[in-house]
Amino acid sequence: MLLVAAGVVALCGGVVVLLGPRLGNWWTRPTAERIAYFADWNTANRGYTIKDVDESGAAALLDRLIWAFGDVSEDGLCHIPAEADQPWQIFQRRYEAAESVDGQADTYEQPLAGSLNQLRKLQQKYPDLRASISLGGWNWSTYFSEAVRTQESRERFVASCIDLWLRGNLPRLEGEPQGGEGVAAGIFDGIDLDWEWPGGNGHPDNVEHPDDKRNFTLVVQEFRAQLDALERETGREYTLSASLSHDPKIMRDSYEPEVFDYLDFATVQGYDFTGSWRDITGHHAQLYAPDQDPDQPSVDRAVRQYLDYGLPAEKLVLGIPGYGRGWRGVPPGPNGDGWLVEAEQPAEGGYGEATHAYETLEQHPGERFFDRETGAAWIYDGDEWWSYDTPEVVRRKGAYAVRHGLRGLVLWNLDMDPEGELVAAMAESLR
């Protein structure tokens, strides 16, 4: 096997040997990784639990689970907010035997309960399943800019995230036995930064500063330094990743190419190219733009723009959606399939306006279409038109990832695929 110091080194027995940002530290990984997000709020909102991840078959097929989301406080620190029963759901709720991954009921006094304890049980069942905590997201990126403003604030912020999520030092609430130093240690071995978005273009409530783009690079460097120190202390490897927008303007406004040197991988959102904000039906996660409208965004365009911008292919994880976007009042159009025609209004959706989960769309009435040119699937029932990823689409995206030497695929998110059909297609295509 030939070893060189420039990223991908050799392919031997299905393993790629890499030189990571920690200079001189060689390690191996599978040629393509299978990753999916677990949205913790849907345990309360939709009854989707860690046990469901297991029973769907997804846990046995995944390399990494990314937990969404960890919050950044107004003081610029990682914390678990009290609102929306976050502490209860995450580490206090006692699970009955029937709800629990291992069939064992929680006790009142155990120091760790809730979904985190269930994730620990899942990892005991699947020892190769790793987990990252994703910080921010669309609604919780409000104070990222404040957290990374100065060297002192960056050091405090990073230390607080490592302390809470990797060292597992959970808060103790008055009158409750859960929480305390190290009770959740070892569950997470990765931190994912989902600041949406440095440099503006994010949620209207986000605090913003003109140096956000530079400070994002600096905080990634600080995470790398503190994670490396933790690795020397514990002997365990820790993963640092970031979630990136598909939008070329946000890419240029938000990220300096040097930031990629310090990340183990980056997920690129290969979805939300269009939606209810436009009156024309279109595919929100198409692999390629159609010939009749070549300027449309696509997965291929998003990938190529990041490769050109300096993100190595072996660090790029392609995001795929577990949901579709739709319109209603859609005439057949010239081809009779409702594609690329003007709609009256957004469709109603179970995940917000004009958004349905894969599971729901699989049961939706209407004729099914698949376009090989764009690698996109849709449903049209004469009034409503829905674009979404089917297992066939996912397999094509997996083949694309393998063909272009990408690191793998990541699904947003697991509760939208409760039978594990998209995860199975992902795993099959990346073998």
Report the alpha-carbon distance of residue 260 to residue 217 in Å, rounded. Answer: 9
Backbone CA torsion sign across 349, 378, 201, 158: positive
Residue 11 pLDDT > 60: no
pLDDT digits (tens, 9 = 90+) for 111-163: 999 999 999 999 999 999 999 999 999 999 999 999 999 999 999 999 999 99
What is residue 407's predicted lDDT score, i.e. its pLDDT? 98
Nearest to 407 by CA among 82, 143, 31: 31
pLDDT digits (tens, 9 = 90+) for 17-68: 333 333 333 333 446 999 999 999 999 999 999 999 999 999 999 999 999 9
pLDDT digits (tens, 9 = 90+) for 158-169: 999 999 999 999
Which residue type sits at 25?
N
Direct distance between the N- and C-terminal alpha carbons of the chain, in angstroms, rounded to an integer: 21
What is residue 174's predicted lDDT score, i.e. its pLDDT? 84
**What CA–CA distances, in Å, run from 223 to 260, 267, 353?**
13, 17, 36
Nearest to 78 by CA among 184, 177, 174: 184
pLDDT digits (tens, 9 = 90+) for 295-345: 899 999 999 999 999 999 999 999 999 999 999 999 999 999 999 999 999
pLDDT digits (tens, 9 = 90+) for 274-290: 999 999 999 999 999 98
pLDDT digits (tens, 9 = 90+) for 79-114: 999 876 889 999 999 999 999 999 999 999 999 999
pLDDT digits (tens, 9 = 90+) for 193-238: 999 999 989 999 999 999 999 999 999 999 999 999 999 999 999 9
pLDDT digits (tens, 9 = 90+) for 378-404: 999 999 999 999 999 999 999 999 999
Mapped to the 3 state alphabet, what secondary structure does the chain carry? CCCCCCCEEEEECCEEEEECCCCCCEEEEECCEEEEEEECHHHHHHCCCHHHHHHCCHHHHCCEEEEEEEEECCCCCEECCCHHHHHHHHHHCCCCHHHCCCCCCCCCCCCCCHHHHHHHHHHHHCCCCEEEEEEEECCCCCCHHHHCCCHHHHHHHHHHHHHHHHCCCECCCCCCCCCECCCCCCCCCEEEEEECCCCCCCCCCCCCCCCHHHHHHHHHHHHHHHHHHHHHHHCCCCEEEEEECCCHHHHHHHCCHHHHHHCCEEEECCCCCCCCCCCECCCCCCCCCCCCCCCCCCHHHHHHHHHHHCCCHHHEEEEEECEEEEEECCCCCCCCCCCCCECCEECCCECECCEEEHHHHHCCCCEEEEECCCCEEEEECCCCEEEECCHHHHHHHHHHHHHCCCCEEEEECHHHCCCCHHHHHHHHHHC
* Rounded average pLDDT over 177-188: 97
Report the alpha-carbon distance of residue 204 to residue 219 in Å, rounded. Answer: 22
Which residue type sits at 149?
R
**Across the chain, what does the average pLDDT equal?**
92
What is residue 85's predicted lDDT score, i.e. its pLDDT? 84
What is residue 346's predicted lDDT score, i.e. its pLDDT? 97
Report the alpha-carbon distance of residue 240 to residue 224 in Å, rounded. Answer: 7
**What CA–CA distances, in Å, run from 272 to 101, 363, 416, 420?**
33, 22, 16, 22
Report the alpha-carbon distance of residue 66 to residue 148 in Å, rounded. Answer: 22
Nearest to 52 by CA among 90, 120, 99, 113: 99
CB 195 within 8 A of CB 216: yes
List domains and CATH numbers for the chain.
Answer: 1-31 (no CATH), 32-322+393-430 (3.20.20.80)
